[in-house]
Amino acid sequence: MPGTFDNETRLYLFDEWYDEGDWFEDEDGFLYIVPVGDGAETIGPDNETEDWLNAYYRDNEEEGWVPHPSDELLKKHGLHTIPPVLRRFNPYDGYYHA
């Protein structure tokens, strides 16, 4: 879940698409990161919440830009936004938040 892992170096890889993407946490403490680039996969547990995020971003894309889900919609799906100031990455743990 924390990011792309390089088996040769045994480290997680930093990717700006994820760093600049939308970050969410669910009620169970699972992190979901929706990247900004086309073709990149959402990071998060393989569950209904991830399926919903993928569908929301796929269905609302307009010329490379997707509106951030409303607070009401996020609350309905048990999510809250992780602001950029709390986002963290290191090559040993991958992506996480403070």
pLDDT, tens only, 55-84: 998 888 776 677 789 999 999 999 999 999
Does 20 reside within a domain?
A: yes
Does 52 reside within a domain?
A: no
* 36-59 residue pLDDT tens: 876 678 899 999 999 999 999 888
The model scores a pTM over 0.85: yes
pLDDT confidence of residue 75: 96
33 in Cβ contact with 21 (< 8 Å): yes
Structural domain containing residue 92 = 15-39+81-98
Does 35 reside within a domain?
A: yes
Q: How many helices (DSSP H) and strands (DSSP E) are in the chain?
A: 3, 7
Instruction: Give the pLDDT mean for 20-33.
Output: 95
Residue 22 to residue 72: CA distance in whole angstroms: 16
Does 19 reside within a domain?
A: yes
